[in-house]
Amino acid sequence: GLDNATAESFDAMFNVFVRAPFFVVQAALSRLSSGGRVINVSSGFATRPSPMASMYSMAKGSINVFTHSLAIELGPRGITANAVAPGWTRTDMNAAVRDNADIVKAIEADTALGRFGEPSEIANVVAFLASDEGRWVTGQVIEASGGYKL
């Protein structure tokens, strides 16, 4: 949370979730041709922040704005830019939450589909955006959360 944040933890968070995606995209631009795709990973926390995840929410919100900016900048080159914003997904990143039965029960109660997502379900959204069928989609942050907190 905010009370425990340090300059070091802030820098580490933004290095991983903001700086790295920015420079990866920059490096990839010379290799992307018309019809190319940029697909960033955001989070549901970017639009529904938690008091204990303020830095993470800020970082992922930055990815949303970056994605919108990229869509405008890269559109004339025929390159789409989108982001996928996963909700609660069974990954090692949230193992502490995933392994707490009370928290899992509360999250599942707040999710329209009543469960955590699977990594493959997030990958399917990414695959759509990368496919020919996704060529008309740009500048979007697509939430894949099973209807969390609707």
130 is a domain residue: yes
> pLDDT tens-digit profile of 72-94?
999 999 999 999 999 999 999 88
pTM of the predicted structure, to 2 decimals: 0.93
25 is a domain residue: yes
pLDDT at 110: 96
pLDDT at 51: 78
Question: At which residue do the structure tokens 């999710």 appear?
Answer: 111
150 is a domain residue: no
Query: Which residue ranges in the chain fall short of pLDDT 70?
Result: none
45 is a domain residue: yes
DSSP, collapsed to helix, strand or coil, labels residue 82 as: strand
10 is a domain residue: yes
133 CB-contact burial (10 Å; exposed 0-12 / middle 13-18 / buried 19+): exposed
Print the domain residue range for 13.
2-144
pLDDT at 10: 95
Which residues are marked as active site? 56
Residue 93's domain is classified under what CATH number? Answer: 3.40.50.720
Number of domains in the chain: 1
